[in-house]
């Protein structure tokens, strides 16, 4: 069975979500992953969308391309203001945050602001934080979904848009972020976690056919390796069918 890297990423992301939980999901692959989980194994998963939408059921073939699009509110239980969405996170109501990013470093910090050492004159100026800093700071657990490329996985991000474990060890708590943090990084090569003490990223599972050497080649820093590295199960037919029905125009699955 063939599938695209984006389909693989969405499937593996969806498997991280449990029933009877809440997830703050952005548009694109994170929303596809949440919708897949809700339709397949987590029917009581409550999605929260930044534009101010609580508990939608994404309609097949009508995948929203913006957090402010009304298709994102299909069968939603609440349509509060956008500020209320982040207040729910501040009050500890959101279990998961789903994020992407242009750069991620060995401590899980994410950059969506600038690429290059000079903030005033960067090589690339990116869209910025949006709600990403709030998600990374306030959700109980953050999962990053990203394509695995060496240019994305850098020793230290050029700008910390969204904090994870900062400089490692207990630096997140010392910065006043007493809970949360990035728990998993799901990529097109595998699933990565963080050492419980020094908080450096480590390999925990590889997708079928992927080797540790491939991960090392596509990572700009030395990656730790867990004592036991699992092999993920490849996407199955019904997972791909649900995904493709949700995004039949393949805006995000190509």
pLDDT at 141 over 90: yes
- The bridge status of strand 53-54 relative to strand 46-49 is antiparallel
pLDDT band with cut points at 50, 70 and 90 for residue 115:
very high
Spatial distance between the Cα atoms of 38 and 105, rounded to a whole number of angstroms: 30
Q: What is the pLDDT of residue 106?
A: 98
Spatial distance between the Cα atoms of 221 and 246, rounded to a whole number of angstroms: 36
Q: What is the pLDDT of residue 226?
A: 98
The single residue listed with the structure tokens 């929203």 is 64
pLDDT at 68 over 90: no
- What are 10-66's pLDDT values in tens digits? 999 999 999 999 999 988 899 999 999 999 999 999 999 988 899 999 998 988 988
> Which domains are seen in the chain, by residue range?
5-246 (3.40.1080.10)
Q: What is the pLDDT of residue 201?
A: 98
- What are 222-249's pLDDT values in tens digits? 999 999 999 999 999 999 999 999 999 9
Q: What is the pLDDT of residue 62?
A: 87
Spatial distance between the Cα atoms of 17 and 42, rounded to a whole number of angstroms: 7
Distances in Å between the Cα of 149 and the Cα atoms of 24, 35, 105, 137, 220 are 25, 26, 12, 25, 9
Q: What is the pLDDT of residue 254?
A: 82
Spatial distance between the Cα atoms of 157 and 153, rounded to a whole number of angstroms: 8
- What are 149-179's pLDDT values in tens digits? 999 999 999 999 999 999 999 999 999 999 9
Helices 237-246, 29-40: crossing angle, 10 deg rounding:
120
Spatial distance between the Cα atoms of 212 and 162, rounded to a whole number of angstroms: 27
Spatial distance between the Cα atoms of 23 and 101, rounded to a whole number of angstroms: 18
Catalytic residue annotation: 50
Q: With contact defined as beta carbons under 8 Å apart, do 137 and 180 qualify? A: yes
- What are 72-94's pLDDT values in tens digits? 999 999 999 888 989 999 999 99
Q: Which two tokens stand for residue 193?
A: 């976690």
- For residue 217, the SS3 value is helix
Q: Report the range of poorest mean pLDDT among 2-11, 25-34, 198-207.
A: 25-34
């Amino acid at each position: 069975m063939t599938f695209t890297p984006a389909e693989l990423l969405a499937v593996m992301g969806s498997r991280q979500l449990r029933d009877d939980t809440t997830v703050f999901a952005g548009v694109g692959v994170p929303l596809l992953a949440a919708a897949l989980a809700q339709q397949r194994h987590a029917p009581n998963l409550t999605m929260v969308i930044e534009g101010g939408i609580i508990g939608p059921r994404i309609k097949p073939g009508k995948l929203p391309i913006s957090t402010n699009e009304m298709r994102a509110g299909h069968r939603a239980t609440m349509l509060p203001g956008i500020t209320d969405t982040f207040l729910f996170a501040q009050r500890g109501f959101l279990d998961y945050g789903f994020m992407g990013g242009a750069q991620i470093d060995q401590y899980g910090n994410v950059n969506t602001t600038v690429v290059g050492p000079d903030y005033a004159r960067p090589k690339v100026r990116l869209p910025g934080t949006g709600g990403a800093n709030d998600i990374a700071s306030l959700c109980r657990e953050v999962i990053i979904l990203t394509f695995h490329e060496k240019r994305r996985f850098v020793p230290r991000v050029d700008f910390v848009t969204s904090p994870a474990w900062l400089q490692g060890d207990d630096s997140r708590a010392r910065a006043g972020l007493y809970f949360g943090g990035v728990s998993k990084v799901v990529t097109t090569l595998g699933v990565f976690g963080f050492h419980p003490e020094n908080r450096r990223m480590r390999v925990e599972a590889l997708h079928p056919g992927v080797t540790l050497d491939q991960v090392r080649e596509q990572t700009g820093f030395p990656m730790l390796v867990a004592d036991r590295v699992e092999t993920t199960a490849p996407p199955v037919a019904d997972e791909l069918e649900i995904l493709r029905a949700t995004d039949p125009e393949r805006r995000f699955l190509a």
